[in-house]
Amino acid sequence: MNNYEPPCFFIKLVSLSKQYREDIKQVNATLYITFATGALSQYEILDIKDTITSIFVKGLRVKDRFIHFSYITTETVGDDNDMIEFDIPFSYFDSFDDDKENIPMMNNFYYNKEE
């Protein structure tokens, strides 16, 4: 996080997808938000912390789905306590984008059963 001018946000999304059913995947993700406050007062920093937390604690509508956030972790960091970090984990289900007709099929299957 070099060469920035506060106040500003840094956003990072880390996600892991796994197959849930044949045509559905489960996505577990964490949204990381860092807010560089600059020369704001402690009151203003707490107000921003509360505002962002209240936005996510209610959940968000994204297109045709609603994303619920289980919990939100916040921490004030930095040498001058001038940055706020938010960790916001969530999960959702989605269908695979693959066309079922173009899925590669196994041609040969060999099985050796030992008795």
Low-confidence ranges of the chain (pLDDT < 50): none
Q: How many CA atoms lie within 13 A of 69 on its CB side?
A: 22
User: Phi and psi of 45, rounded to 5°?
Assistant: -65, -45
pTM of the predicted protein model:
0.74
Query: What's the CATH number where 91 sits?
Result: 3.30.70
Tell me if 83 is assigned to some domain.
yes
Q: Does residue 23 lie in a domain region?
A: yes
Does residue 17 fall inside a structural domain? yes
Q: What is the pLDDT of residue 115?
A: 59
23 Rama sector, left if φ>0, alpha if ψ -120 to 50, beta otherwise: alpha
Number of domains in the chain: 1
3-state DSSP of the chain:
CCCCCCCEEEEEEEEEEEEEECCEEEEEEEEEEEEECCCCCHHHHHHHHHHHHHHHHCCEEECCEEECECCCEEEEECCCCCEEEEEEEEEEEEECCCCHHHCCCCCCCCCCCCC
pLDDT for res 12: 95
Count Cα neighbours of 39 within 13 Å in the Cβ-side half-sphere: 1
User: Does residue 91 lie within any of the structural domains?
Assistant: yes
pLDDT on residue 22: 81
**Does the residue 77 lie in any domain?**
yes
pLDDT of residue 94: 84
59 inside domain: yes
> Tell me, what's the pLDDT at 101?
61
In-domain check, residue 101: no
The confidence score (pLDDT) of residue 9 equals: 92
Q: For residue 64, what are the domain limits?
A: 8-96
Would you state the pLDDT for residue 4? 82
For residue 103, tell me if it sits in a domain.
no
pLDDT value of residue 45: 87
The whole-number pLDDT of residue 109 equals 64
